[in-house]
Structure 1
């Protein structure tokens, strides 16, 4: 059974720019869960549906782009459920970088 990981990331880019950045950077986000192989993705309106292989398991999810936030939902197969919190933190961090740029120190 899969365990969903949901991350909501606020942004001030507007829907079109956020969608452009997500489309270009989806591979970076999904690499945070140790994925290998081809990323399959398809847009339906402002929702990106994706799937990929990671350690012989299929990871899938959606990225919904809204005017002021992005909602990322990743369905992790059983083997990944035990690291869901770690994955969630990495996805949030990489998503913020993608939508805001690196944090300034």
Structure 2
């Protein structure tokens, strides 16, 4: 195999290896957002409720740390709010959801 072809193949494999997990995390984040019922109160992609703030650009407004706190201890952020706590989520799912929301900019 020619060196240029080997380099092109290696570059293509690297691209596949790095983009597939990102796409999978995007899909997992969306699935969590939908499965947890977030859109009952929040709008996202033009759909959902109007009770809470829209989640489309939440990553512009809040850091990952702030998003995590809002999810696991919402009464600390807003004692009179109606946001439920998601502290029951496993660390992996919570991390995926926080990362997904933080990427919404």
- The two structures have a TM-score, normalised by structure 1, of 0.34
Q: TM-score, normalised by structure 2?
A: 0.34
More relative contact order, 1 or 2 (CA 8 Å, 6+ apart): 1
Give the number of the structure whose residues are more often strand, by fraction: 1
Kindly indicate which of the two structures has a greater share of residues assigned to helix.
2
Which one has a bigger Cα radius of gyration? 2
